[in-house]
A = this chain, B = another copy of it.
């Protein structure tokens, strides 16, 4: 028996309870039998990289929202990369790296499903497989390409443009020949998105001239608005959409920490009607294996060609998972650009956050 660390949900938090707090979680240790024989199609893995994503908040409330809730006092899970230590599944051998939805615990035995896939560290750095080559990249691709159906020369606007999904959406938009306008919360991010990721324009929603800036950045109106935030940031978008505009709704992070009844602002229906526009909510889980493989083929190809880049914000160690997670919701002091990943390969238990 060895001792392993794990991160558990200690208390459900209220749907209306503001930003999730460190006190609702606990890092615990438990006994783990590494020598327990594996059943057929089981693997023993060692966790390496953990993805934290805004949607996880909805699983921590004890009620079904758009996803099932986590159980109390059990490890949380999310998209992760892990190393195979032992395998009783013909698809994997010890030493392989795999991605899948794993528990936030150092070691675990996993029943292999088709979601568990081998990843190639020669194709991209391992954290990318929970990012641009994982749920993040698929989310960006499905929303922008399959719902947005961008045509060359069209104008795409993406909110939370500095976020994991937003920064990929912008780059795919450029690859497909569109004008890409980002919305983010600081001038430094805006500058970075233009210089590093090739956004044509980026506007700061905190500016007093936000509405005017947005209008100026979209002289031909908006054909696709990739929605990540909702709320008042999204209101002026509606006035700028073109005939037959498409609005894939990937999330509305501005609404997650307050009662939804308070999300009062410009109603969308008139604009959707008068522009014969489409607004479509989606989750990656809605798409087929074939669509997933097709998307990953394109994403890998673009990475290989150097057209698509991912910036990772890396936190280190179990003690910093929740810090990394809660920072996703911090709009006043969030300098993160790109995909936030926790590196738990460091077995020393270091508690120093590193970005």
Contacts and interface: CB of A to CB of B under 8 A. Distances in A.
Nearest to A235: B267
A275 B281 contact: yes
Contacts of A260: 270-271
B264 A227 contact: no
B276 A282 contact: yes
Contacts of A255: 267, 269-270
Contacts of A250: 273
A65 interface: yes
A274 interface: yes
A249 B279 CA distance: 11
A81 to B, nearest CB: 27
Given A276-B281, A277-B281, A266 B269 contact: no
A250 B266 CA distance: 18
Contact of A283 (B58, B227, B269, B276): B276
Contacts of A276: 66, 280-283, 286
Contacts of A282: 273, 276
Contact of A252 (B273, B279, B280): B273
B267 A272 contact: no
Contact of A269 (B273, B275, B277, B279): B279
A89 interface: no
A24 interface: no
Contacts of A227: 269, 273
Nearest to A250: B273
Contact of A249 (B65, B273, B281): B273
Copies assembled: 2
Residue from A243, A276, A283 having most chain B Cβ neighbours under 10 A: A276
B269 A268 contact: yes
A151 B260 CA distance: 29
Contact of A279 (B66, B230, B231, B278): B278
Nearest to A67: B274
Contacts of A268: 267-269, 279
B280 A278 contact: yes
B286 A269 contact: no
Given A279-B272, A281-B277, A266 B264 contact: yes
Nearest to A58: B274
A234 interface: yes
A62 interface: no
Interface in A19-74: 58, 65-66
Given A252-B273, A263-B267, 7 more contacts: A230-B273, A231-B267, A234-B269, A271-B281, A275-B281, A276-B282, A276-B283
21 contacts: A65-B274, A66-B274, A66-B275, A227-B269, A227-B273, A231-B267, A234-B267, A250-B273, A260-B271, A264-B266, A265-B267, A267-B268, A272-B279, A272-B280, A273-B282, A276-B282, A276-B283, A276-B286, A277-B280, A278-B278, A279-B280
In the A-B complex, the 7 residue pairs with the closest CB atoms: A66-B274, A273-B281, A230-B269, A279-B279, A249-B273, A272-B281, A252-B270
